Amino acid sequence: MEIKVKLNGKNVIGNVEADTVLLDWLREKGCLSVKRGCDTSNCGLCTVFMDNKPILSCSKLAVQADGHEIKTLEGLQEEALEFVGFIADQGADQCGFCNPGFVMNTIALLRENQDPTDDEIRAFLAGNLCRCSGYEGQLRGIRNFLDSRKACTDEKNSN
């Protein structure tokens, strides 16, 4: 079955079996940030954007992406670069396996809410599984990023 997808800004045509999971198709296309963690839609490692909304690619068939725009972390490097260092500074990237899912969901959160509370951050990232850090490092990294961004904005406004 042929599908046409706008993948990270490029039009891609592919042939897939009817039962091919979007996660597998994306990895075949070189999007290695999309990871398999649970195959039960519980860990967030396979998060991608479909039409700018976060979805779990392990729970979508590739044929369901036909005619849609899909963005993976590979297509959002510039947007992600802003805060990835803040997460690393907090030791929240111990093994790094969960980072792409956290980054994708943080991008989605910040697109929706530019100044979330800690509870709103926790709620938005609740579907991400991290076996190493206990989540507090990710929260501190996101909070430090938001505080830094606010300080820059305040400084610009005072000049």
Q: Residue 4's pLDDT band (boundaries 50, 70, 90)?
A: very high
Q: Helix (H, G, I), strand (E, B), or coil: what is residue 33?
A: coil
Rounded CA-CA distance 95/134 in Å is 12
**Which residue would you say has higher pLDDT here, 118 or 132?**
118
DSSP state of 113: -
Q: Please state the φ and ψ torsions of residue 72, each to the nearest 5 degrees.
A: -110, 180
**Quick one: pLDDT at residue 137?**
78
Domain ranges of the chain: 2-72, 75-158
Q: What is the pLDDT of residues 14-57, one digit of tens each?
A: 999 999 999 999 999 999 999 998 888 888 999 999 999 999 99
Assess whether pLDDT exceeds 90 at residue 90. Answer: no
Fold of domain 75-158: DNA polymerase; domain 1 (1.10.150)
- H-helix or E-strand spanning residue 50: strand 47-50
**Quick one: pLDDT at residue 156?**
74
The CATH architecture assigned to 2-72 reads Roll (3.10)
Count of beta carbons in the 10 Å neighbourhood of residue 12 = 15
**What is the pTM for the complete model shown?**
0.88
β-pair type (10-15, 47-50): unpaired
**Quick one: pLDDT at residue 132?**
75
